[in-house]
Amino acid sequence: MSFIVAVAAMICIVCVPTFAQRGGGRGGPAAGQTVEKIKMLKPNLYEITGGGANTLVRVTNQGLIVVDTKNPSDENFNRLMEEIKSVTNQPVKYVINTHHHPDHVGNNQKFIDAGAQVVALEALKTWMGNDPRTKDIPGRPTQTFSKDYTLKLGDAEVRLYSFGRGHTGDDTMVYFPDMKVVMVSDQITDATPIVDFANGGSAVEWTKILDGVLALDFEQAIPGRGEPKSKADIQAYRMKFDTVVKR
């Protein structure tokens, strides 16, 4: 099935409340069920796949920043920490959530219990509380922002952008300017894009998010699942998605 036909079909059916997928639900296609080995993207920036959405780990001289915490389970959390500790013994100081789906926020509370702050868009609190899949998952954000936010820890700066609604109503792009890397989460997937209309998603605004991302100076875009993408990949994806929305 072509990208255009697949996206158009998915936009039509994702609004059905009973729609679900193994592992990711509206959060995306099923990911590897086991947390995998940590991989270095760049010095002091790592990716951990499997167990839900991709997780990023930024190492600073004053602790760690973790992006997304995978599906909720003791096994996932323990494996995540095992992989993190294989490269550094520094504590996790901040967790950033890209949106409220369970494969991205599932182990927030465990990080909070260990002393971390969870940073997310203010709207994430609302959608996490309203979504039947996440309302009973503990670990609401401890620090929120309404639009854009710059997080500084030690020698690192992370910029958080809310360019609009796309995959959900609380999507956040996480940009590491010194690394020229941006976490785009489920705004880019290797499978069919999913617009979670029930939780604030918008096919129309999706391209606005991609435009915001393309305005950034980056070399790698990290999706919620799948391999890192180039700027050219994002440009091609945006053109295809725009074609769907205009039809």
The pLDDT of residue 247 = 65
Please give the mean pLDDT across all residues of the chain: 88
Residue 166 located in a structural domain: yes
* DSSP sequence for the chain: --HHHHHHHHHHHTTSTT---TTTGGG-S---SS----EEEETTEEEE-SSSS-EEEEEETTEEEEE---SS-HHHHHHHHHHHHTT--PPEEEEE-SS-SHHHHTTHHHHHHTT-EEEEEHHHHHHHHHSTTTTT-----SEEESS-EEEEETTEEEEEE----SSSSS--EEEETTTTEEEEETTS-SS-----GGGT--HHHHHHHHHHHHTS--SEEEESSSS-B-HHHHHHHHHHHHHHHH-
Residue 131 located in a structural domain: yes
Residue 126 located in a structural domain: yes
What confidence tens digit (pLDDT) does each residue in 150-184 have?
Answer: 999 999 999 999 999 999 999 999 999 999 999 99
- pLDDT band for position 112 (50/70/90)? very high
Residue 12 located in a structural domain: no
> What's the pTM value of the predicted model, to 2 decimals?
0.88
Residue 203 located in a structural domain: yes
Residue 150 located in a structural domain: yes
Q: Which domain, by its residues, includes 41?
A: 31-246
Closest to 170 (Cα-Cα) out of 119, 105, 124? 124
Q: β-strands 220-223, 181-185: how paired?
A: parallel
Which CATH number characterizes residue 134's domain? 3.60.15.10
The pLDDT of residue 122 = 96
What confidence tens digit (pLDDT) does each residue in 191-220 have?
Answer: 778 899 999 999 989 999 999 999 999 999
The pLDDT of residue 243 = 80
Structural domains counted in the chain? 1
Residue 14 located in a structural domain: no
Residue 16 located in a structural domain: no
